[in-house]
Structure 1
Amino acid sequence: MRRTPSRRLLAAALLVASALASTAAFPAPAVQAAGTAAHHRADWPPHGLGSALTARLDSTIADVREQAGIPGVVVGLWMPGRGSYVRATGVADTATGRPMAADSFVRIGSETKTFTVTALLKLVDEHRIGLDDPISRYVRGVPNGRRITLRHLAEMRSGLFPYTSDPGFIQALLSDPQRYFSPRQSLAYGFRHANTSAPGKQFQYSNTNLVLLGLVIERVSGHKLADFIHQRVLRPAHLHRTLFPRGAEFPEPHPHGYTDQTLSGDTADATDWNPSWAWAAGAMISDLHDLRRWAKTVATGTLLSPGTQAQRLRTLPTGFPGTRYGLGIFETNGWIGHNGSIPGYETVTVYLPSQKATLVIMINTDSQRNGQEPSTVLARAITGIVTPDNVYDGSVVTR
């Protein structure tokens, strides 16, 4: 039976410096860095987790990959005092059999939200905006915008209808996946609908919220979101292989990405689909090395003041046991971070403060099996082995 596209599609699932270059869509070093993979690998801890545990992880990942129908997997696990584990298995291209590579770039989907909200919080630290400012102060035409605050948007508690759930949007995107959507065009699909709840009343994951925050950043900073994130987030965090594309550009090496979120329900190659529709909510690209660094940076708040980071980590219930959501970040059974899902790709980037452990997962499909995100199944299996008291379960975030 063919599955009809639903709101999972597109659950995908960004201060001011005088030197900002308005023409820089993304930094050249990020695109040219493919040849530096060996340097990045040399930065990874050289000691494994032991032969028995390594064999168990190898076997488990292979089983999940087969059962969930995942073409290729990259897993990085770093546990201070215990060792590390880095593996690339499966294929990056089902047509040629080219193997998955650990130094691949991938589309990170909703992990983009952690970058967008970090950029927003940089403006908070500079006292240029307040989290309790109404969105109507910065963006006109938002339903109930006088009552919805920037905090509500970052917490996923605005009550605004998610534009990716609009049937017209789904039809428009899947009819022409290379189409460019401006932020205002995307928002218009959501603003057709009545709000789903009063501001602050309940958690509802919605890309509408993050696109609005992206517009706030541009309005206050006076710069394009991609440029602002590059200068004020990526550079200070020393992320040289992370970028915010303007269109479908995708640096090499990268795996092909496969999705069944199509009008027919058949599997398609989504590698070159234009992610502009996701923009501040899910358009970015990164790699294993940068995501490893970012996991700790975003969880510990090294780019922000302690007070602002504390607000970010003030998580609230989502309605799903074991998972809470803060300002563009979640906590699930002790792990802090975010996952990402965009047609063709899924990622998980999380940090466990109690053990200073980092887990990064990158896969080249978002096709579900038995209603479960494949990256979540994989993260749950891995953490069930290495941190049985802290088993990851972040699937509720991008449903």
Structure 2
Amino acid sequence: MPRNTAHPRPARQAYLTLALAVALTGTLTACETSAAAQGTAHTPTGRPGAATAHSARLTALAQRDVDAGAPGVIVRVDKGEGRVTEIARQAPWTRTDHTLTASDRFRMGSNTKTMVATVVLQLATEDRLQLTDPVEKWLPGLVPNGNSITLRMLLNHTSGLFDYTHDPDVLKAFTGQDTRRWTPGELIAAGVRHEPLFAPGTDYSYSNTNYIALGLVAEKATGHSLDDLIQRRIAGPLHLKNTYLVTGADARSEDGSKSGSENGSKAVQRPALAHGYEPDAAHIGPLLPPGTPAGTAFAGPQRPAGHVDTTWINSSTEWAAGGIVSTAQDWARFSGALLSGKLLPPARLKEMRTTVAEEAEFPNRRYGLGLEQVVTPCGTVWGHNGEVPGYSSENYTDATGRRTVSVLTGTIFGLVPPKAGAANRALVDAAVCTMLGKPIPAAPAPTAS
């Protein structure tokens, strides 16, 4: 839903509207360790020198991120050779809830869009649908002016549809203040009851409404549920054992088990779900953008350091726009397979990587079909980012899919203060540069919170 960018997208994160900021998208940008924060690190061995130095630097930057205010962070870097670097760091007050590890499951937010787009492009390859099809063909009467909006426009956010996460009623559910379960049809209705932003195909505006519609189209075209399509077409073939789409309430077991209610399968054992946190009602006010409805705050059990635990917040507003749960390792396998051509034929992958400019304030980012091209300080990467309450995720790969990187952080609004934001940006930059085999940029001097 919201997005960080290698060179932050504060507007997508928390500075424009809460809904945009916490709606289902991610950030790319760019020490001393503290005994106060705890965690684990897997440092490459057998390659002394630069590789070890990079791992140590990433570990220090992850610790700095936590010291600056991030409740927890997971970093995974695979340079396509040698051992993978995996790091997990967390604030000590979070350990009562869960001991964070690099293999934990994580709510991936708008990275979900890349998987949904992959399924849609696979269906187009099989002639089950066409990207030139109007929405009206598949969802008659659901989207006003649906004869003028094509599936391609949904995929690259040029439809002009209002983002349902900006709707006040959806916002209450998104923040957990309303526990009613929303259906995909209701989410679209919440979006289209607002005027469109522009005529279809004439401009770009990121909208989660687009991907809820695409999820319904995929179901209509196949007769299968979206979570089943993701399992059959992506998770199963790639052996992603810890990746699934949440369609209802998660099973709340700390041993990592899952009830099977999300995809109809019988219970399976999984790594634990990392906990996510947001500032509590007493602390979030100054972090919210102007115009946010009065009383906006995240629901959840109170935690130390002015936080609430948002791990089990109402997730029914996410679905095809941001409902995937996965791990850094699973996501690396998916993104690597996608960019290396294992999931789509060359012509379809080329379509996916055909981009349009995003908003003018983000000249380093362009949007394809559920996939972003991002120019970073160390080179161009492909991927997406995402945020849902308590979770910010950034997952990227090089153009070949051989190198992958993930930075997963256990908050959205906890990164809004300047010091926290700068520390997180420095970590993401360093991780991306390490993935690309480039020198890690010098971290900026700490700033005041």
Q: Normalising to structure 2: TM-score of the pair?
A: 0.73
Q: Distance in 1 between matches of 2:383 and 2:103?
A: 21
Q: Partner of 2:177 in structure 1?
A: 176
Q: How big is the shift at 1:58?
A: 1.7
Query: 1:154-204: per-residue Cα shift (whole Å, max 9, x none)?
Result: 001110000001123213443535431100111111111110012222221
In the TM superposition, 1:223-238 aligns within 5 A as 223-238=224-239
Q: Distance in 1 between matches of 2:18 and 2:314?
A: 19
100 and 93 in structure 1: CA distance in 2 versus 1, 3 angstrom threshold: farther
Q: Distance in 2 between matches of 1:47 and 1:329?
A: 35
Q: Partner of 2:371 in structure 1?
A: 329
- DSSP 3-state at the match of 2:78: strand
1:360 paired with 2:406, answer yes
- DSSP 3-state at the match of 2:335: helix
* Preserved CA contact (<8 Å) 1:10 1:278: no
* Preserved CA contact (<8 Å) 1:135 1:146: yes
Aligned residue identity for 1:188: A
* Preserved CA contact (<8 Å) 1:92 1:364: no
Of 19, 23, 30, 1:11 maps to 23
1:369 paired with 2:381, answer no
Q: Distance in 2 between matches of 1:50 and 1:332?
A: 24
Q: Distance in 2 between matches of 1:381 and 1:167?
A: 37
Q: Partner of 2:445 in structure 1?
A: none
Query: What stretches of structure 2 of length at least 5 have no aligned partner?
Result: 1-13, 26-40, 257-271, 282-295, 299-305, 442-449
Q: Partner of 1:74 in structure 2?
A: 74
Aligned residue identity for 2:353: L
176 and 369 in structure 1: CA distance in 2 versus 1, 3 angstrom threshold: closer
Q: How big is the shift at 1:4?
A: 10
Q: Distance in 1 between matches of 2:250 and 2:45?
A: 33
Q: Partner of 1:315 in structure 2?
A: 355
Aligned residue identity for 1:179: R
Aligned residue identity for 1:329: L
* Preserved CA contact (<8 Å) 2:339 2:400: no
Q: How big is the shift at 1:340?
A: 1.4
Q: Partner of 1:270 in structure 2?
A: 310
Q: How big is the shift at 1:81?
A: 4.3
Q: Distance in 2 between matches of 1:156 and 1:221?
A: 23
Q: Distance in 2 between matches of 1:175 and 1:360?
A: 27
Q: Partner of 2:30 in structure 1?
A: none
1:242 paired with 2:243, answer yes
Aligned residue identity for 2:274: P
Q: Partner of 1:304 in structure 2?
A: 344
Aligned residue identity for 2:396: V
Aligned residue identity for 1:330: E
Deviates more, 1:80-89 or 1:225-234: 80-89
In the TM superposition, 1:1-399 aligns within 5 A as 6-13=18-25, 47=46, 50-67=51-68, 69-81=69-81, 84-91=84-91, 94=94, 96=96, 98-139=98-139, 140-174=141-175, 176-250=177-251, 252=256, 253-260=272-279, 263-264=296-297, 267-318=307-358, 319=360, 320-333=362-375, 334-353=380-399, 356-367=402-413, 368-370=415-417, 378-384=427-433, 387=436, 388=438
Q: Partner of 1:22 in structure 2?
A: none
Q: Distance in 2 between matches of 1:378 and 1:358?
A: 15
* Preserved CA contact (<8 Å) 2:175 2:389: no
Q: Distance in 2 between matches of 1:94 and 1:280?
A: 29
Q: How big is the shift at 1:9?
A: 4.4
Cα RMSD after superposing both structures: 3.0
Q: Distance in 1 between matches of 2:134 and 2:423?
A: 37
- DSSP 3-state at the match of 1:50: helix
Q: How many percent identity over aligned positions?
A: 32
- DSSP 3-state at the match of 1:137: helix
198 and 76 in structure 1: CA distance in 2 versus 1, 3 angstrom threshold: same
* Preserved CA contact (<8 Å) 1:329 1:336: yes
* Preserved CA contact (<8 Å) 1:46 1:84: no
* Preserved CA contact (<8 Å) 1:92 1:100: no
378 and 202 in structure 1: CA distance in 2 versus 1, 3 angstrom threshold: farther
Q: How big is the shift at 1:98?
A: 4.3
Give the total of aligned pairs: 361
